[in-house]
Amino acid sequence: SYCTPLDDYVHKPDPVFAWKRIQVFPYSTHTIHILNMTSQQWFNSILNKNSNSFSSRSIWWHYMIITVPKILKRSQTAFLLISGGSNNNP
């Protein structure tokens, strides 16, 4: 099968990928999990230090909030919300 450069990038292992549970909030109708997820190394950190790079951080991490309902009404449905943020205003 044919692979594009995007396919190669997405399937390339990244040793910095990790996640850690920060806190859990159980409620009567759902449970909220707060995670810290390190998603990738965006570019070489040595390159970043030696140039006028476009970012001050080569490792990207994010807070991730997962809400799990106690009763599923639509078991084949998910919702993903990606909000803004930056290094200066997370």
- Identify whether 78 is part of a domain: no
Q: What is the tally of structural domains in the chain?
A: 1
Q: 36-79, pLDDT tens digit by residue?
A: 999 887 766 555 555 555 566 778 888 899 999 999 888 888 88
- Identify whether 74 is part of a domain: no
pTM above 0.75, yes or no: no
**8 Å CB contact between 41 and 59:** yes
pLDDT value at 87 more than 70: no
- Identify whether 60 is part of a domain: yes
**Residue 11's domain spans which residues?**
5-69
- Identify whether 77 is part of a domain: no
- Identify whether 52 is part of a domain: yes
Torsion-angle region of 9 (φ positive above 0: left; ψ -120 to 50: alpha; else: beta):
alpha
